Amino acid sequence: MSIDLSIVLSGEFGQWLLRGFLLSIELTLVTLVLAFPLATFVALLRLSPWKPLQGLGFAYVEGIRNIPLLAHLMFWYFGATQLLPEGTRTWLYEHDAESICAVVALTLYTAAFMAEDIRSGIRSIPTAQFEAARALGFGYLRSMRLVVLPQAVRITVPPLISQTLSLWKNTSIATVIGTAELMYQAQRVETATFRGAETFAVTTVAYLAVSGVITLLGVLYQRRYPVRAA
C-alpha cells in the first residue's frame, strides 16, 4: 500500500481532521485563559505568610500534580458530573459535556504546574525588594502587584510557555472521554480509510507545527524581554 496523503486530506476526512485541529486549539486557548489566573492565585496561596493558606496551596499542587492526567479526565467526566445538582447536570449534558469536562480537567491540571513556575519566579526576586516595598508603606497585595510581580513575570514567562507546550500536547488525552479533538478525529479517519500511516503523519505534523510556533514564541519573548539582574 503506497503512501497517499490526499486520501486523508481531501473531502470529508480532511474536514474531520480540520475540525479536530480547531477544537484542540480551542481547548488549549480556553484552558490557558482559565489556568493562568488560577495558577497565580495558587502560587500566592503558597507564598502567603499565613500557614493554613500555604497548606491549602501545597495540597492543591501536590494533590493534582501527582495524579495522571488520564485519571483527572475520567474523574471529571464520569465521576464528578454525577455529583452535580440535577438542573446543572442536565444543562451540561445538553451542551458539549465532553469538551467542558476536558477544559475543567486540563485547567486544574495545568494550573498546578504553572503555579509552581510562578512561585519559583516570585521567589527568585530578592526578599529585600518586597521588604523595601513594605517599608514604603505598601500592603502585601500592592507590594506583590507593583514591585515583585512585574519583575517575576520576565523570569516566569519562559517556563509558562513550556507549560503551554505541554498543555497543547495534553489536549490529545481528552480523546478518552469522547472529546472530538485532533486525536479523536484522527482515529475516526483511520477507521474509515484504513490509512493509519497517512492519518497519523498528518496529525503528527499538525501537533509539531503548533508546538513549533509555541516554542518560537518562547524564544522571541526571551530575546525581547531578557531577565534583568536584580
Using CB under 8 A, list all residues that contact other proteins.
1, 78, 81-82, 89-90, 93, 97-98, 176-178, 180, 184, 187-188, 190-192, 194, 196
Nearer to other proteins, 116 or 190 (CB): 190
Block residue for cell numbers 495522571: 68
Task: Quote the least distance from Cβ 204 to other proteins, whole Å.
Answer: 15
Q: Which is nearer to other proteins, 50 or 194 (CB)?
A: 194
- ∠ Cα 209 211 216 (to 5°): 95
Query: Closest approach of Cβ 139 to other proteins, in Å?
Result: 47
Spatial CB neighbours of 19, under 8 Å, sequence gap ≥ 6: 180, 185
Using the minimum distance from each CB to other proteins, give the nearer residue, 89 or 154: 89
Residue 83 or 141 having the CB closest to other proteins? 83
Least separation in angstroms between residue 39's CB and other proteins is 29
- The smaller minimum CB distance to other proteins, of residues 1 and 229, is found at 1
Q: How far is the CB of 14 from other proteins (least distance, A)?
A: 18
Between 149-170 and 196-224, two packed helices, what is the crossing angle to 10 degrees? 170
Q: Do the Cβ atoms of 4 and 76 come closer than 8 Å?
A: no
Question: Residue 85 CB, nearest distance to other proteins (Å)?
Answer: 14
Closer CB to other proteins, 2 or 127, in the complex: 2
Whole-number Å distance between alpha carbons of 60 and 81? 20
CB of 90 to other proteins, least distance (A): 8
CA distance 177 to 23: 14
| CA dist 125 → 50, 90, 128, 225, 230 (Å) | 20, 48, 8, 16, 7
Nearer Cβ to other proteins (19/89)? 89
Q: Give min distance, CB of 196 to other proteins, in A.
A: 5
